[in-house]
């Protein structure tokens, strides 16, 4: 039971601090630039995890498909 409480407390603190950080950052940076920085940071973290675990790196076709989805996804929202 203490692990469950600690897990929920961690989620509450991490998730809550993320929203606070976004709110503060939006006062100093344009939204699109902030989004780009967040996505770049996520990509670097995921690439480091892939490298550390020794998982196979994506092939060329997978990079192409991911890039295509990334370009087309914002258009689907409008």
Consecutive sets of 10 residues in the chain, 78 residues long: mean pLDDT of each? Answer: 90 88 90 88 92 91 92 66
30: helix, strand or coil: coil
Q: CB neighbours of 73 closer than 8 A, spacing ≥ 6?
A: none
Query: How far is it, in rounded angstroms, from Cα 56 to Cα 73?
Result: 25
pLDDT computed for residue 19 by the predictor: 86
Place of tokens 């996520």: 42
The model carries a pTM of 0.60
pLDDT computed for residue 18 by the predictor: 85
pLDDT computed for residue 52 by the predictor: 94
pLDDT computed for residue 64 by the predictor: 95
pLDDT computed for residue 49 by the predictor: 92
């Amino acid at each position: 039971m203490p692990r469950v409480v600690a897990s929920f407390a961690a989620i509450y603190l991490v998730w809550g601090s993320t929203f606070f950080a976004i709110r503060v950052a939006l006062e100093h940076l344009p939204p699109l630039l902030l989004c780009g920085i967040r996505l770049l940071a996520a990509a670097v973290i995921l690439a480091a995890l892939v490298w550390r675990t020794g998982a196979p790196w994506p092939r060329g076709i997978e990079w192409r498909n991911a890039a295509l989805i990334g370009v087309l996804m914002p258009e689907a929202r409008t």
